[in-house]
Structure 1
């Protein structure tokens, strides 16, 4: 007879995250040859289907869905979607393929990831210690005020990291990245204290762009070929260049980071996107 186990019962199997959401970036190109071979009835039906599918308010769509026109030759338009259920996200991709114009819409790039709270986000206790290391005395009235403000801010920041809202900015940039494993600069062999200090410097550079740029970093280790995906939204295009350039001088980036392709886009409604793409039903 097997002795009773004292281990805690395992949770039920699930495709949902314990905390956080699944995320998908998906990019498409319009194939002009296939589009040209579609008759006006197929075009009309497909455009109507696509506009409905890309409506964030459509019943059954993911919790977050955003569409945008993409600059450059690698894609014509893109989608970013987040939801607790990865199959609800995938259902949009499958529905696009199944539209009357689906054969003319070629996926050119995708990035699969999940939301997370980074291990480098300091706890209230760690933040307090950093203030002391920066020369702020615990007896200084500003010390208690800063700690209290951070304690109040932290839950809201973590909520946005795990269950993000899209900011009301017109420009979106996405790129994947890794931390390198170069023999002379291997991020993964550095002690946590060193990595944490480098990420604190990196975060300080990013804070300078508050109000101009909003950032979401999603984790992709085990989900895609890169370790993280970085999504930036900005109030105007130049802020994208400024923040990426500025933060590349931080050691965490300059010494340890490798970057994938950059995709720049401009947020549009589904209807405005189809007009921008010059997809017309014809006569």
Structure 2
């Protein structure tokens, strides 16, 4: 007689929801002008109304984060960034666009699936204390050491929450690109010891901090989920800051020696109705 298999009590229940953090989808559409011309005036109006409602981040049942932007250049016309605990709610937006009256005219050209994470290179409180003693020569009895450690301890939960469940800045421009860490015989990131990788990522983070207030960055993880290992989303107060931060950080060893980049998508954030107006839909 076959007995039912029961997993160990310590294992979590099967679920599509993450233990912590959110699922994330970047998806890009191109307007098919020929298909758009085939729509009747009433179908066009109905499709436009449904898309505006669907992409409203404040509507009942909307994903936790939903941002619309128009893409600069020929790679795409419309960009969506969607985040939620439930990946099927995210995919529901994509499916509703496909099924709408405008679905035939909005052709997906690129997508990127990822999840939020707290990087292994973000120091714990204990690791930060070790770094202060090792790199800055501070002692446990030093009041400055205690002050720095306490300040970091107060910031860390907020910083990790922003990494896992991010708020989007109210800035006009965003840029997305996927990336890998290289696995090459002459430069294999995954053959470096953790201490070396951590030091390189600390240098990389120090470069990025200089752009605080001008650029906000979110790294999402995609290893095993998409063709690249990470997705980088940048928001900028101005497009020139996007260019400056990417250029500056390419001189860091973690980037100059070990990084491989995919396509870059620059877009300008607009409410759904303004985005469709801009696309002349």
Under a length normalisation based on structure 2, what TM-score does the superposition of the two structures give? 0.96
Residue 120 (1) aligns with residue 121 (2): yes
Provide the C-alpha distance between the structure 2 equivalents of 1:191 and 1:98, rounded to a whole number of angstroms. 49
Match of 2:235 among 230, 233, 236: 233
CA RMSD of aligned residues (A): 1.4
DSSP-derived class of the 2:82 partner: strand
Contact 1:65 1:81 in 2 (8 A): yes
Secondary structure, in 3 states, of the residue corresponding to 2:104? Answer: helix
- Structure-1 separation of matches of 2:7 and 2:79: 50
User: 2:133 corresponds to which residue?
Assistant: 132
In the alignment, which of 219, 222, 231 is matched to residue 220 of structure 1? 222
**Unaligned segments of structure 1, at least 5 residues:** none
- Inter-partner Cα distance in structure 2 for 1:145 and 1:95: 52
Q: Which residue of 1 is the match for residue 38 of structure 2?
A: 37
Deviations 1:130-149 (A, max 9, x none): 11222242243322111111
Q: Distance in 2 between matches of 1:161 and 1:99?
A: 33
- Cα distance change, pair 264–145 in 1 and its aligned pair in 2 (3 A): same
Distance 2:250 2:129 in 1: 27
Q: 1:136 touches 1:143 (CA, 8 Å); kept in 2?
A: no
Between 1:128-137 and 1:209-218, the stretch displaced more is 128-137
The TM-score with structure 1 as length reference comes to: 0.95
Does the residue aligned with 1:102 lie in a helix, a strand or coil? Answer: coil
Unaligned runs of 5+ in 2: none
Alignment-derived partner of residue 268 in structure 2: 266
Q: Write the distance in 2 (CA, Å) between the matches of 1:9 and 1:228.
A: 30
**Other-structure match for 2:65:** 64
CA deviations on 1:211-253 (whole Å, 9 max, x unpaired) are 1111100000010000000000011110000000000000000
Runs (4+) of structure 1 moved beyond 6 Å? none
